[in-house]
Structure 1
């Protein structure tokens, strides 16, 4: 898994060969297919390991326990930033390969579904706390959170605009409350 991750990040999905993964992991290429399911199986397993990482249930529990809407927004901004820091290099390669490879596109959908689940939970919690603006329902709040916090949005801020993650986090903490929350 680690050999595949390192090579996917270094060479991209299409530039990585099963033989290179096998050589880096010190196993036979047949083992990569038998145990890992080849390149696609390894990539999918890597992404699923992220969606099932030990911090995910902790994040979800914190969302459900939150009682302060502004604190919840700061928390979800921090949580997505930390996940982005951990997974950005690999997700950048997934995003690059997905348009050309249906199996990678499916793997990307798994990552997106996991993140949207957490964002929908956040939106529902904000609604339960009666904190959403009158013109923003749970579905709209989920979409607004996605537009601001998905990997693609982070890529735009960091790669295209050259923002640091600190600047991005500060901006998100300024932009999201008025977009989502009713005025006190």
Structure 2
């Protein structure tokens, strides 16, 4: 009696192909959004760059809006986000924790600034882009919330600064817009920015040792 057919391999290959196709579309869209801006990028260009049909772009992401959202969500769900949060929870020295967070935001800004600059430019004119920006902002503030709560648990926040105010102060210094001011408007290098943040953020947040 012949063995039953094995459908595992074909299903696995289909899944791998679908994943590779989606990643090619996301990579193509990321490159085009950065180079041409959100409004300057067409679905047909994404499809041509990814070497798929335009219908596939719509099927995978629902067009430009959906592709941008997938890109933003991929950043908020990346493995290194969990590693950063775990690092925050593991640090017992408040000043070391703040230095860790400052460096982590610098690294994430380096990774995502080109795309987020285009998101910030398009958001005032396009509600779906504003929604993507909101998702990114909520993720960043969530990380700041973990940091602020950890500092509060360590008894390290200065007098008059509760967790909510600590989150606001972190946002004021470490959000993308703050980095854009320092790098784009003031022309600071990221090394200069990080050195300045290592000085001012502990003074804004922490009680005197």
1:33 aligns with 2:58: yes
Q: From 85, 110, 114, give the equivalent of 1:89.
A: 114
Q: Which deviations, in whole Å up to 9, do the C-alpha atoms of 1:125-165 show, x marking residues without a partner?
A: 00000000011111100000000000000000000000000
CA distance in 1, matches of 2:60, 2:116: 23
1:152 to 155, 171, 177: 177
Structure 2 residue ranges without an equivalent (≥5)? 1-25
2:205 corresponds, among 161, 180, 183, to 180
In the other structure, the counterpart of 1:137 is 162
Aligned residue-pair number: 184
Of the two structures, which has the highest relative contact order with CA contacts closer than 8 Å and spacing of 6 or more?
Answer: 1
What CA deviation, in whole Å up to 9, does each residue of 1:65-122 have, x standing for no partner?
Answer: 1100000000000000000000000000000001110000000000000000000110
Which position in structure 2 is the counterpart of 1:124? 149
Structure of larger gyration radius: 2
Which TM-score applies when normalising by structure 1?
0.99
Which of 24, 38, 41 is equivalent to 2:49? 24
Q: Does 1:104 align with 2:129?
A: yes
Q: Which moved more, 1:28-37 or 1:5-14?
A: 28-37
- In structure 2, the residue matched to 1:8 is 33
| Cα distance between partner residues in 2 of 1:64 and 1:95 | 31
Partners of 1:177 and 1:103 in 2: CA distance: 36
Runs of 4+ in structure 1 deviating by more than 6 angstroms, as ranges, are: none
Aligned partners of 1:73 and 1:65: how far apart in 2?
Answer: 13
In structure 2, what is the equivalent of residue 79 of structure 1? Answer: 104
Gaps of 5+ in 1: none
Deviation sequence 1:20-61 (CA, Å, 0-9, x none): 000000111111101121101100000000001110000001
Q: CA RMSD in A?
A: 0.5
Does residue 164 (structure 1) correspond to residue 203 (structure 2)? The answer is no
Equivalence for 2:78? 53
Paired residue secondary structure (1:99): helix
